[in-house]
């Protein structure tokens, strides 16, 4: 979806940014959840699952919000034409 909205001479920069974000989340995510798990374990070991569910719900809501914006719908119509 993002590559459709990016000019052809900026495609490499966009792909580099996306790979960098993916790598950063691959490092930060496990560290963050290890800290959360360590602090929530004495209280209840199921908190890590509840927190993970909350993150998934937030991502789903953000994705749905993005998909319903007029700009995203306009780019869908351009690709199908």
Sign of the CA dihedral with 57 first, then 58, 60, and 64 last: positive
- Ranges 4-8, 16-20, 21-25, 27-31: which has the least confidence: 4-8
Domain ranges of the chain: 8-80
| Helix and strand element counts for the chain (H, E) | 3, 0
Phi, psi of 38 (to 5 degrees): -60, -40
Sign of CA dihedral 55, 60, 66, 69: negative
Any residues with CB less than 8 A from the CB of 51 and at least 6 apart, and which?
A: 33, 36, 40
The pLDDT tens digits of the residues spanning 42-76 come to 888 888 899 999 999 999 999 899 888 776 555 55
């Amino acid at each position: 979806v993002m590559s459709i909205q990016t000019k052809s001479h900026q495609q490499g920069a966009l792909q580099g940014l996306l790979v960098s974000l993916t790598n950063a989340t691959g490092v930060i995510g496990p560290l963050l959840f290890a800290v959360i798990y360590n602090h929530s374990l004495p209280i209840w070991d199921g908190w890590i699952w509840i927190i993970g569910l909350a993150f998934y719900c937030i991502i789903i809501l953000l994705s749905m919000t993005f998909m319903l914006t007029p700009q995203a719908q306009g780019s869908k119509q351009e690709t199908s034409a």
